[in-house]
Amino acid sequence: MPQKHNANKKQGFRRRNKKEKRRQKKEKKRAEKKEEEEEIIKNSKKYDELKVKYDELKLEHDELKLEHKELKLGYNELKLKFVKAEREKEVNRKCRDFVGRFLFKLSKKLNYDDIRMLSDEYEYGNHQEVKNKIESKLEFVKMKANEFKQISDFRLSSNDYSHGVKKQSAYDAQIMLSNMDFPKDMEYLKIPLNKVLKALQIWDKEN
């Protein structure tokens, strides 16, 4: 009897032990699952925070990119203006002296003391008579009165530019002119300037 009792006791102990192990195993699984869920929640929050941060940085990047684009556009506009101004300056500086020489000779040939008197007479005096005189005198280079006006206005606007090309022959000036890069809004001057130099090539030989 004592042996049977001991055997039953051992059997009961083993059952309880197995039951406890199963309980512990379940408890461990629950704990692991809970830990996994907490980790998922934690990672999810972290992901959301990182996404918000990423969106903020992306927005900031896009704003900086737009600002950079605007600055680059502004720089390019300034650069174009500077290049245009330099080209205008070059045309004024290189052409002002031979244009002045032409206008001086023309005014003398038309019996005016200087070009200002001729220009004033053309603008405010007997316009048609002066127009006919100018076109008649310049008929050999086919220069019209409106081209004379363009040349006269150009010379007046170039007064602020010093250090022009002095004592240059009309022939050399014509070669220079053919190689000059005119700004688009000054290209209209090419034809009358060529006519000026053709006239000077003849008039310079008279002296």
- Look at residue 113 in the predicted model and tell me its pLDDT: 87
* Buried b or exposed e, range 101-111, using 16+ CB within 10 angstroms: bbbebbbebbe
- Angle (nearest 5°) at CA 148 between 138 and 158: 135
- Angle (nearest 5°) at CA 140 between 173 and 172: 10
Mean pLDDT computed over 10-34: 77
d(CA 191, CA 154): 13
- Look at residue 194 in the predicted model and tell me its pLDDT: 95
Span of 9-18, 39-48, 163-172 with lowest mean pLDDT: 9-18
Contact 137, 106 (CB under 8 A): yes
Look at 83 and 6; give whichever has higher pLDDT: 83
What number of other Cβ atoms are within 10 A of residue 80's Cβ?
A: 10
Mean pLDDT computed over 32-42: 83
Q: The tokens 């300056």 sit on which residue?
A: 89
Question: Which tens digit of pLDDT belongs to each residue from 147-176?
Answer: 999 999 998 887 766 556 677 888 899 999
